[in-house]
């Protein structure tokens, strides 16, 4: 059985990285991400934009969880769940580098 992007498992030590072909710009606090070779785009709200900003290949998911929990005054559990869901969505849309980076949902 082939693993689908949404079933990709991430640990707290995972260090997600943006797809090298992803171009992004921030307008009025919202990121607009484009994968030109695949004609795919995504517009992020302010929270998604902040997480996108933290995804640099150097920060672990645990690092991002601490930042988001602190900045948005949410529990660590809420931050972790939201970040993992968001990262799985980005993965499903081919916006992160890795084994599933070129699969689009």
pLDDT in tens, 60-77: 999 999 999 999 999 999
- β-pairing, 40-43 vs 23-27, is unpaired
User: What is the domain count for the chain?
Assistant: 1
Residue 14 maps to a domain: no
pLDDT above 90: residue 37? no
Q: Which domain, by its residues, includes 68? A: 20-92
Residue 82 maps to a domain: yes
Whole-angstrom Cα distance, residue 10 to residue 17? 12
Residue 15 maps to a domain: no
Residue 27 maps to a domain: yes
Residue 100 maps to a domain: no
CB atoms within 10 A of CB 100: 20
For residue 53, which phi and psi values (nearest 5 degrees)? -65, -35
């Amino acid at each position: 059985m082939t693993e689908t992007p949404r079933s990709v498992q991430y640990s707290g030590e995972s260090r997600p990285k943006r797809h090298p072909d992803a171009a992004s710009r921030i307008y009025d606090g919202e990121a607009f991400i484009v994968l030109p070779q695949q004609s795919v785009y995504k517009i992020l709200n302010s929270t998604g934009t902040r997480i996108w900003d933290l995804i640099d290949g150097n920060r672990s998911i645990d690092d991002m969880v601490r930042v988001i929990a602190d900045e948005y005054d949410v529990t660590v559990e809420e931050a972790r769940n939201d970040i993992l869901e968001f990262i799985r969505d980005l993965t499903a849309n081919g916006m992160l580098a890795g084994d599933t980076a070129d699969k689009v949902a």
